[in-house]
Chain A
């Protein structure tokens, strides 16, 4: 089995701290495999920025310039990095709580501003690091330590949110569909603008156990059985779009000038010389 992706990891920082059966490792590997697919992206010109939470510990294992920011703030930090040095390829790793709760305002404005970032949200439907509290992406009725009788908060669909807020590339995949997830992330690298990829990952320890979802393998099989490719999803009759089914693939793409290109024109209008 080829393991050429191993060079992208800090071997001396492994093994990772995630629970056995966690999907975060699959999503992290998908990111470096997507980087490997793009000859222009190297370990020297790519920066990994993360927030706080289980997902966000990924940055420490990845052999790039890496930044483990404060809770919810990865996108603002990444915005500063990209605008300060547009030569850098900036990847954000975030989680459902980090991105859509405490970082929700930064997320929608990141989409709107269209800075050339690739944001990968590891969606495990729960706050894992703190022991299983409900997040804004915990499905209705599912249990969490702070929702012991089932969540009554209506969840976000982060992809719909990204599209509505102005992201120019929106895709979803799952830990089960790993090669597809790699392609979705690689597609985000091709888009010069704000790219958002939701990677559904299993959390067997907190979310799975609380909701009796079985083993990690059972949770992956659930993804297999309920994810529907975008083209098929569009043809699916309304009565077949049950609550558990969800579309994966490239969900939305739009052409819009990225912030940095637009700001270069500001510099020109102001009569300033580019650096």
Chain B
């Protein structure tokens, strides 16, 4: 461990990216994510990496995809309107299987919304923002230190699955300052760029899946003369107009991530040992929910907290197990209702699911979540 430092979530994100091997960042200024770009502009050249401020959000996404294809680990960061603008190229990265990490420090929307205020309303956009069927991985850290860890994890998943990974931060965590001790470089597991296992003479096909269903696509400049396109393509990388290739391709894109199951679904439980009710929360809201649940425990309420760190793929099994254990669940999130519907789907009627939402540009007060817990536990009926 390094010595303790006072650091902001956005800065920890940049530090984590560099520790995970990111050496190219393209960005465009947007509140409340700008400190990620500013920190990368400062730190990247120190390690021989490159930062480029592009002309717009779309260009910065395009630049990181190009840099990734040329062999670098890459990241870009944005917020609300910028996240909307990048959607087309997120889909390109999913289809062409280009490793990349996109940070979205969520702010209040829709549109320009409330640029400096916290929100967690991009959960569904992270999942379905780009058109067409596609898989996505999204991680939502709740502390400065976990932002560092989640960024390393995001870079590793991007490389391992050759897929875009969304670091779904929120303004609370992005601008939060905490004392952190970061790991030394050697303490981290860093997933290396995948590389071809065959030569051209041996019949190398850049998009032929390995045993884990992920292709070992060559980097540009390695002499393989590969073709990369956002058109549906076969194992050779060239467009193929057949129903079978289309079906197989879309299925494999999903299956390469789905098949690892719960390995990448990270959740944490607090106060759950004898809990009869549960709060589900993520990101900055989970901090408030933690305090609310701790206060409820002091009042004798048997309530616990399930915190989602992986938002996508959704923690269906963890939620189903939770529903089998408790009499009721409440989802607290800073939006009009997004994760709550996923929880209801996973609970599948096994227990009541209540919603505690907020969308007035303020973070939750613990008392607001405690009031929700009171109602959940039936205190209001006593």
Interchain CB contact under 8 A, B50 and A70: no
| Residue numbers in A under 8 Å from B88 (CB-CB) | 70
Docked-complex contact A84 and B230, CB < 8 angstroms: no
Digitize B47-67: 1 where CB-to-A-CB distance is under 8 Å, 0 elsewhere: 111101011101111111111
Assess whether B380 is interfacial by the CB under 8 Å rule. Answer: no
Which residues 36-84 of A have a CB within 8 angstroms of B? 43-45, 47, 49, 59-60, 63-70, 73, 75-84
A-B contacts, 21 of them at CB < 8 A, read A13-B238, A43-B225, A47-B70, A65-B221, A67-B69, A67-B227, A68-B228, A69-B62, A75-B59, A79-B59, A80-B70, A81-B67, A81-B220, A84-B24, A84-B68, A85-B70, A106-B55, A266-B45, A272-B47, A273-B48, A275-B48
CB-CB under 8 A from B219, the residues of chain A are: 85
Q: Please indicate the chain B residues that have their CB under 8 angstroms from the CB of A75 in the complex.
A: 59, 62
Q: How many cross-chain pairs have Cβ atoms below 8 Å apart between A and B?
A: 156
User: Is A76 within 8 A of B45, CB to CB?
Assistant: no
* B46 contacts A by Cβ under 8 Å: yes
Query: Which residues 30-51 of B sit at the A interface, judged by CB distance below 8 A?
Result: 42, 44-50
Closest-CB distance, B324 to chain A (whole angstroms): 45
Residue in contact with A70 in the complex, picked from B45, B71, B92, CB distance below 8 Å: B92
Return chain B residues, CB-CB under 8 Å to A69.
62, 65, 92, 230
Q: Is the CB of A109 within 8 A of B55?
A: yes
Q: Counting CB contacts under 8 A, is A270 at the interface?
A: yes
Contact A76 B58 (CB under 8 A): yes
Q: Are A44 and B223 in contact (CB under 8 A)?
A: yes
Which of B62, B223, B225 lies at the interface centre, i.e. has the most chain A CB atoms within 10 A of its CB?
B62
CB <8 Å contact, B230 and A68: yes
Q: How far is the CA of A270 from the CA of B23 in the complex (A)?
A: 14
Nearest CB in chain B: distance from A258 CB, A: 13
Residue of B nearest to A269 (CB): B45
Bound-state Cα–Cα, A44 to B47, Å: 27
B72 contacts A84, CB within 8 Å? Answer: yes
> What separation, in Å, do the CA atoms of A63 and B226 have in the docked complex?
8
- Decide yes or no whether B224 CB sits under 8 A from chain A: yes
Q: How far is the CB of A245 from chain B (nearest CB, A)?
A: 33
Task: Give the one of B72, B224, B225, B231 with max A CB within 10 A.
Answer: B225
Q: What is the CA–CA distance of A109 and B221 in the complex, to the nearest angstrom?
A: 25
Chain B residue contacts of A66, Cβ below 8 A: 225-228
> Chain A: which residue is nearest B226 at the CB level?
A65
Task: Please report B residues at the A interface, Cβ cutoff 8 Å.
Answer: 23-24, 26, 42, 44-50, 52, 54-56, 58-72, 74, 88-89, 92, 218-221, 223-231, 238-239
Q: Give 14 A-B pairs besides A109-B55, A270-B46, A272-B48 with Cβ atoms closer than 8 angstroms.
A: A60-B227, A68-B228, A77-B62, A79-B62, A80-B62, A80-B64, A80-B67, A80-B69, A80-B70, A82-B66, A84-B67, A109-B54, A266-B45, A275-B48
The answer to whether B221 touches A85 (Cβ under 8 A) is yes
A84 touches B54 (CB 8 A): no
- B55: chain A residues at CB < 8 Å are 105-106, 108-109
Q: How far is the CA of A267 from the CA of B43 in the complex (A)?
A: 10
Bound-state CA distance A162–B64 (Å) is 24
Residues of B near A85 (CB, < 8 A) are 70-72, 219-221
Per-position 1/0 for A247-274, Cβ under 8 A of B: 0000000000001000100110111111
B54, B221, B230: the one within 8 Å of A45 (CB):
B221
Q: A70-B88, A273-B48 are in contact. Are A80 and B221 (CB under 8 A)?
A: no
Which chain A residues border B58 with CB–CB below 8 Å?
73, 76, 106
Contact yes or no, B46 A60, CB < 8 A: no
CA distance A60 to B52 in the complex (A): 28
Q: A243 in the interface, Cβ–Cβ < 8 Å?
A: no
Q: Which residues of A contact B238 (CB under 8 A)?
A: 13, 60
The CA of A179 and the CA of B67, in the complex, are separated in Å by 33
Question: Counting CB contacts under 8 A, is A2 at the interface?
Answer: no
Interchain CB contact under 8 A, A67 and B66: yes
What is the CA–CA distance of A273 and B218 in the complex, to the nearest angstrom?
Answer: 26
Report whether A59 and B227 are in contact in the complex, using a CB–CB cutoff of 8 Å.
yes
A62 → chain B closest CB, angstroms: 9
In the complex, A22 has a CB within 8 A of chain B = no
How many whole Å from B195's CB to the nearest CB in chain A?
15
Nearest 8 A-B pairs (CB), nearest first?
Answer: A80-B66, A76-B62, A80-B67, A270-B45, A84-B67, A77-B66, A109-B55, A84-B70
| Bound form: Cα–Cα A78–B64 in Å | 10
**Partner of A84 from B50, B89, B229 at Cβ < 8 Å:** B50
Q: Tell yes or no: A87 within 8 A of B by CB.
A: yes
Q: Is B46 touching A64 in the complex (CB atoms < 8 A)?
A: no
Let me know if A67 and B221 touch, CB within 8 A.
no
**Cross-chain contact of B59 among A67, A84, A106 (Cβ < 8 A):** A106
> Shortest Cβ distance from A66 into chain B, in angstroms?
5
Residue A101 at the chain B interface, CB threshold 8 Å: no
CB distance from B96 to the nearest CB of A (A): 9
Contact A70 B66 (CB under 8 A): no
A163 to chain B, nearest CB (A): 18
CA distance A259 to B50 in the complex (A): 11
